């Protein structure tokens, strides 16, 4: 069973000024420029949060499903999810974050991470098979309070050649699945063995004592001609 996620609270300071130069000055103060979108902020509300308060969430694998309670500088409160994190291409430091407001009781589209367990118990893996994962999350419509950390896929009984699709996953109650049910999440495959055709080298005595080297593919009879 997937546990519901803990809700985090951070302070959101509303700002009037926007633009590249402004954002650069904000980052120099160890703050992160952010924008809040959603039902009550359709045009976007610019603000800042401290790097310390948001870094752990923004750097986690489950950042897009972590509920965040924003304490607004105007005294209001708002629950949101991270929708996008922009980073510096070299340092990977956070440059900007987009939040999306969620309303209590109203479903929202999220991507829930897939977590695989019991790899070491899989008969197929024990026999030398390789686990090939082809999907890392599933898309659902779900109420904010029901969003789990992840959905669990147990491969303890999976044999070589068998697969798990989205319809095999136990989903949180009340959510609407958006990913096609027949989407393959993973399968156990045989190890790929590249067999290189060996070649044999045969020395033939040619005319006037000259030595020629003839390459004969392994498995062919000597003197066999190809059509």
For residues 99 and 151, state if they share a domain.
no
- Tell me which residue range forms the domain holding 130: 109-189
Distance CA(62)–CA(68), nearest Å, equals 12
What is the separation of C-alpha 13 from the centre of its chain, rounded to a whole number of angstroms? Answer: 31
For residues 95 and 176, state if they share a domain.
no
Paired residues of 123 in beta bridges: none
Sequence-distant (≥ 6) Cβ neighbours of residue 71 within 8 angstroms: 9, 10, 11, 12, 77
pLDDT tens track for 38-58: 999 999 999 999 999 999 999
Give the largest Cα separation in the chain, rounded: 103
In a domain, 201, yes or no: no
Q: What is the 3-state secondary structure (H, E, C) of 102-125?
A: CCCCCCEEEEEEEEEECHHHCHHH
| pLDDT value, residue 222 | 42
| pLDDT value, residue 107 | 94
pTM tops 0.85: no
For residues 95 and 120, state if they share a domain.
no
Ranges of residues in the chain whose predicted pLDDT is under 70:
1-7, 193-227
Distance CA(96)–CA(32), nearest Å, equals 6
Distance CA(217)–CA(153), nearest Å, equals 47
Number of domains in the chain: 2
For residues 77 and 127, state if they share a domain.
no
For residues 88 and 36, state if they share a domain.
yes
In a domain, 38, yes or no: yes
**6: buried, middle or exposed (CB in 10 Å: 19+, 13-18, 0-12)?**
exposed
CA 176, 180, 184, 185 torsion-angle sign: negative
Which domain CATH number covers 87?
Answer: 2.40.240.10
Which domain CATH number covers 164?
Answer: 2.170.120.20
In a domain, 206, yes or no: no
Distance CA(212)–CA(217), nearest Å, equals 16
In a domain, 130, yes or no: yes
In a domain, 219, yes or no: no
Paired residues of 132 in beta bridges: 187
Cβ atoms of 165 and 183 closer than 8 Å: yes
| pLDDT value, residue 221 | 40
Distance CA(162)–CA(190), nearest Å, equals 11
- Domain end residue (candidates: 73, 103, 133): 103
For residues 83 and 119, state if they share a domain.
no
State residue 185 phi and psi, 5-degree precision.
-90, -45
In a domain, 135, yes or no: yes
For residues 30 and 86, state if they share a domain.
yes
Report the 10 Å Cβ neighbour count for 49: 22
For residues 91 and 115, state if they share a domain.
no
Report the 10 Å Cβ neighbour count for 31: 20
| pLDDT value, residue 61 | 85
């Amino acid at each position: 069973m997937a546990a519901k996620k803990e809700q985090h609270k951070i302070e959101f300071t509303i700002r009037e000024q926007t633009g590249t130069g402004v954002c650069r000055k904000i980052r120099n103060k160890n703050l992160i420029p952010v924008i809040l979108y959603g039902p009550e902020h359709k045009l976007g509300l610019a603000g800042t949060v401290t790097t310390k308060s948001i870094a752990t969430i923004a750097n986690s694998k489950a950042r897009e499903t972590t509920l965040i309670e924003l304490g607004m500088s105007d005294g209001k409160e708002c629950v949101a999810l991270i929708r996008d994190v922009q980073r510096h291409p070299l340092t990977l430091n956070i440059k900007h974050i987009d939040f999306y407001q969620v309303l209590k009781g109203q479903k929202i589209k999220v991507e829930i991470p897939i977590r695989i367990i019991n790899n070491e118990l899989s008969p197929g893996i024990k026999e030398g098979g390789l686990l090939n994962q082809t999907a890392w999350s599933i898309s659902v419509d779900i109420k904010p309070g029901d969003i789990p950390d992840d959905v669990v896929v147990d491969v303890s009984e999976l044999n070589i050649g068998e697969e798990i699709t989205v319809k095999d996953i136990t989903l949180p109650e009340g959510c609407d699945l958006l990913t096609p049910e027949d989407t393959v999440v993973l399968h156990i495959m045989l190890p790929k063995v590249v067999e290189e055709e060996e070649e044999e080298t045969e020395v033939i005595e040619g005319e006037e004592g000259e030595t020629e080297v003839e390459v004969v593919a392994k498995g062919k009879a000597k003197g066999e001609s190809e059509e």
